[in-house]
Amino acid sequence: MEETYDVIILGTGLKECILSGLLSVSGKKVLHLDRNDYYGGESASLNLKQLYKKFEGNDEKIDEKELGASKNYSVDLCPKFIMGCENLVKMLLHTKVTRYLEFRCVDGSFVYKEGKLYEVPITPAAAMNSSLMGVFQKRRYHTFLQWVLDVDVNDSKTWNKLDLKSMTMNDVFEHWKCDENTQDFTGHAVALYTDDSYLNDKTKTLDCIERLQLYAWSLSRFEKSPYLYPIYGLGGLPEGFSRLAAVHGGVYMLRRSIEKILYDDDGKVKGVEVKDEGKAYCKQLISDPSYFANTNKIKKTGQVGRWLCILDHPVDGTNNASSAQIILATKQTGHKSDIYISVLSSALHVAPEKRWIAMISSQVYTNNPRKELRVAHDLFGKVLKEFFFVTDTFEAVNDSEKDQVFICSSMDATSHFQQATREVMNIYKAVTGKDVDLNADPEVIGSDAQFE
């Protein structure tokens, strides 16, 4: 094992595997290690027996007559939807990882208001038909959306005499007379901000317009919703990027325990020591945060509560959707953070026929996290089986320019890939000095047999 690599990567979580694939394609010599005997890390897809063993210690209590066969489950521990025209799709197309995977469109995107679910309106026509707003607000929102779609962020002549470089998004909403409810679902369920700080930040105005356009463009490609999901679950994504890296010379080793991370006298990483294998050397190291537990290179950022529920029916209010995203914005629930729900079923080959998997996720803050998320759980009605778990989240605090160690943050509570994609792109640029090649055109998805 006494060999030198450009990059050693620890952990086969989704972010680490995407980076492994991208770096291998760029010509980097990559060694990828994981202590586990499966790909995915905290993003792994598990069958029913694996879920029972992970959260209850054994699988003796499984009732496969009621729940369905274990082998027909592929449950993602951190389910996230992919926006149809976002940068992750461009990465998938550019690297041709799509040849290893098949995707389907998610049936719908919904928002919670006053105890009920409403489909998110993002086209002018949908705004006029939505019961989420009153008659006058529908007309105002219709006009606002038409303006958003006509804006070219690089051409101020298309801004309708608004100065989007000096105005806040709050100013923009006020100009188009969008009320607080409209601002709330637009910011959280369409632009996908996790808090309201963007409203009064002038540097976020054009970013918000671009986010709204991305949602609308993605929706126009797939009609039902702007989101895609891989058949058989997210576990296929790490495996797909891993195959890509292997094709380009990347070396993978599972079931390898890291005994020590090696540094030179200046504190710069120089390799790792692997139990029973010896040492491997590198110029740079990428890792998930678990390999730096109890060190000063990471800090705890909070906790995420996840409530996994198996149902025998679609979630009420989702138009009998076989798959859906639901967002409960903080102003509607009183919870400190938005609450996200992903709903998946046999249509995506992640559950048996007539079974739905609903995952609630959010930041949690008290010693009674179930109570914090109860408002979302109450939407489900009868639940056949549930698993509740809380995980600590971490982010890097080290000087990566000095030590050349790049630590990915923990998976957040959101049910979409926006933040994860941005982080992958930032780490790739820090490691290589170059931007990720995003020349692939997501417009081809519509004619790509891998996307349905």
Range of the domain at 99: 57-107+300-393
Question: Is 452 a member of any domain?
Answer: no
Say yes or no: 262 and 304 in one domain: no
CATH number at residue 79: 3.30.519.10
Say yes or no: 100 and 79 in one domain: yes
Say yes or no: 204 and 131 in one domain: yes
Say yes or no: 212 and 140 in one domain: yes
Say yes or no: 275 and 419 in one domain: yes
Overall number of domains in the chain: 3
Q: How confident is the model at residue 448 (pLDDT cuts 50, 70, 90)?
A: very low
Say yes or no: 293 and 308 in one domain: no
**Within a 13 Å sphere around the CA of 127, how many CA atoms are in the beta-carbon half?**
20
Q: Which of 299, 268, 340 is nearest to 109 (CA)?
A: 340
Say yes or no: 127 and 218 in one domain: yes
**Once rounded to an integer, what is the mean pLDDT over residues 115-126?**
92
Rounded to two decimals, what is the model's pTM? 0.92
Note the pLDDT of residue 442: 57
**Once rounded to an integer, what is the mean pLDDT over residues 162-179?**
97
Say yes or no: 292 and 365 in one domain: no
Over the range 349-386, which residues count as b (16 or more CB within 10 Å of their CB) and which as e? bbbbeebbbbbbbbbbeeeebeebbebbbebbeeeebb
Note the pLDDT of residue 445: 46
CATH number at residue 173: 1.10.405.10
Render pLDDT for 325-356 as a digit per residue (tens, 0 to 9).
999 999 999 999 999 999 999 999 999 999 99
Q: Could you say which of 197, 222, 247 is where a domain stops?
A: 222
Q: How confident is the model at residue 175 (pLDDT cuts 50, 70, 90)?
A: very high
Render pLDDT for 62-79 as a digit per residue (tens, 0 to 9).
999 999 999 999 999 999
Contacts of residue 295, Cβ cutoff 8 Å, sequence gap at least 6: none
Render pLDDT for 207-263 as a digit per residue (tens, 0 to 9).
999 999 999 999 988 878 999 999 999 988 888 888 888 899 999 898 999 999 999
